[in-house]
Structure 1
Amino acid sequence: MPDPMHFDGMADLYDRARPPYPDALWSRLGALGVLGSGTRVLELGAGSGLATAPMVAAGAAVTAVEPGPALADLLRRRVPEATVVEGTAESVPLDDAAFDLAVVATAVHWLDLDVVLPRLHRALVPGGHLAVWRHVFGDPTAPLTPFRERVAQIVRERGDVPPRPGPAELDTTGWVGRLTAGGWFAVRHVDELRWSVDLGADQVRDLFTTFSEWSDAEAEAAGRAVRDLGGRVTEHYLTPLLVLRRAGTPTR
């Protein structure tokens, strides 16, 4: 399995290349009443602040936990209003009932949930929420584009790769089951937000370089594919959103 610290070695590239989360995500969290002015947020695996900055802009008080020193330093500079804690979700000190909302944005597959879920249950107030989301780079319901055909060919040439532990990125039902295991949290809302973005060849190369399962040579091949196809492509992405409510009494 790739090392999650892979991203810390490319902090500036990661911050530049990863697309922002769609506006519909923030609207949905606001409409659900879980994010707004004064919300005390605990964000795990905050990276360079792609989710931190919009939450601060919404008026939330964000404590952002990030294990990578380079990313944590970038986050402090990028979002000085946030409280940045360098450490892991499994080990950083957390006060009881100190937060209204816990957020895990494109990081849940790196966490030891058997450790993290009970910690979050203690750190959240009664009635608090856990919001989990991630990018899926390539919406399987969108029409297959010539660029996506080239991407599929690159992946086929890679051969067999051991899957990551846990549910697959498109297995939303599996992630619901994993996040509710033990009875610490119960599902409140499940959504899949679809959106698109236009990218140039260099943007695609940089973005694919940040994917932990992609080699530099494969990312270069993806960039060449964009140049072959006219220099820009429209990518269709998917952001599954899971919002869970803190359970009153866990089953264990």
Structure 2
Amino acid sequence: MSLHHHKQFNDKSDLYAAARPTYPDELFEFLFSQCPDFEQAWDCGTGSGQAAVSLAKRFHHVEATDVSPQQIANATAHKRVHYSVQPAETTHFANDAFSLITVAQALHWFEFNKFWPEVHRVLKPGGIFAAWGYSWFHISTEIDAIIATKLMPPIKNFWAAQNQLLWDGYQAIPFPFVTIPTPQIILAQQWNLAQLLAYLGSWSAVRHCIEANGDEFFVELTAALGKAWGSAEEKKVISMDFHLMVGRHEA
């Protein structure tokens, strides 16, 4: 990960941690069903530690790494999770150390020509690699249209190029493992208006646009969503496009 992208996740890491969607139990139960054992897992690009803590429900020990010191500082503590600041592509872990390696909402930031050899080095034969991410979301025709017209045009030029890999469902990312068929995972949140706005405000493109051009567009977005939402405390279902790739490391 470049220094520029490192900085993106250092900025407002507390906001990032608070505004992220939660992953469903069905995702982890599927991954656990594929694992050869539950000795040790690695959550790479851990961010707030959300996935790492879920892995610790079954694994005896979880290593959770991120290139951002601020992300690690804000990560959720757990007695079976050890956090450290390390780049994805070069770690101090031993060979064949892990039965499961996960990457949640981060794979598109990595340097694949360096990351895949590192994964092959530290993932034991028969071990599982899993990466997933979420991209766009859907609430209702009216609210989706407001976001499409009030938010997306102003921030269009502030996205990092790597996001396109996520938007394309990770289809363009090379995957050097024996692919395991995956079940359909539904990622849906129930959020009120403040929670949705916090999530939108955590987008790096939104933050960069505000820094460059001011927050008038976000003020207008907030007002338009407020009119369409109804009671601000009402919780609506936010359905997110979810992409999952899972493979086994064969010796």
Give the TM-score normalised by structure 2: 0.82
The count of aligned residue pairs is 237
Listed one character per residue, the Cα deviations across residues 116-158 of structure 1 (whole Å, up to 9, x for unaligned) are 001100111111111001122315xxx8521111111124532
2:53 equivalent to 1:53: yes
Q: Output the amino acid matched with 1:199.
A: W
Question: Does the 8 A contact of 1:47 with 1:72 survive in 2?
Answer: yes
| CA distance in structure 2 between the aligned counterparts of 1:13 and 1:186, rounded to whole angstroms | 37
| More moved, 97-106 vs 225-234 | 225-234
Question: Does the 8 A contact of 1:205 with 1:222 survive in 2?
Answer: no
| CA distance in structure 2 between the aligned counterparts of 1:20 and 1:221, rounded to whole angstroms | 28
Point out 4+ residue stretches in structure 1 off by more than 6 angstroms. none
2:179 equivalent to 1:187: yes
Question: Does the 8 A contact of 1:205 with 1:219 survive in 2?
Answer: no
**Match for residue 90 of structure 1?**
89
> Helix, strand or coil for the counterpart of 2:206?
coil
Question: Does the 8 A contact of 2:40 with 2:59 survive in 1?
Answer: no
**Match for residue 148 of structure 1?**
144
2:9 equivalent to 1:10: no
Listed one character per residue, the Cα deviations across residues 70-93 of structure 1 (whole Å, up to 9, x for unaligned) are 221222x52243111212112222
* RMSD value, Cα: 2.6
**Match for residue 244 of structure 2?**
241
| CA distance in structure 1 between the aligned counterparts of 2:97 and 2:132, rounded to whole angstroms | 22
**Match for residue 27 of structure 1?**
29
Q: Output the amino acid matched with 1:112.
A: E
Q: Output the amino acid matched with 1:153.
A: T
> Helix, strand or coil for the counterpart of 2:134?
coil
Listed one character per residue, the Cα deviations across residues 180-201 of structure 1 (whole Å, up to 9, x for unaligned) are 2xxx422112444223222222
Q: Output the amino acid matched with 1:34.
A: C
Q: Write out aligned runs for 1:73-152 (5 A).
A: 73-75=73-75, 78-138=77-137, 144-152=140-148
- CA deviation after TM superposition for structure 1 residue 27, in Å: 2.4
| CA distance in structure 2 between the aligned counterparts of 1:69 and 1:220, rounded to whole angstroms | 31
> Helix, strand or coil for the counterpart of 2:46?
coil
| CA distance in structure 2 between the aligned counterparts of 1:73 and 1:145, rounded to whole angstroms | 39
- CA deviation after TM superposition for structure 1 residue 159, in Å: 7.1
Q: Output the amino acid matched with 1:169.
A: L
- CA deviation after TM superposition for structure 1 residue 221, in Å: 4.5
Identity %: 21
Where in structure 1 are there 5+ consecutive unaligned residues?
Answer: none
2:169 equivalent to 1:172: yes
| CA distance in structure 1 between the aligned counterparts of 2:96 and 2:22, rounded to whole angstroms | 30
**Match for residue 205 of structure 1?**
197
Listed one character per residue, the Cα deviations across residues 32-87 of structure 1 (whole Å, up to 9, x for unaligned) are x2287x34111111011111111112234110111111221222x52243111212
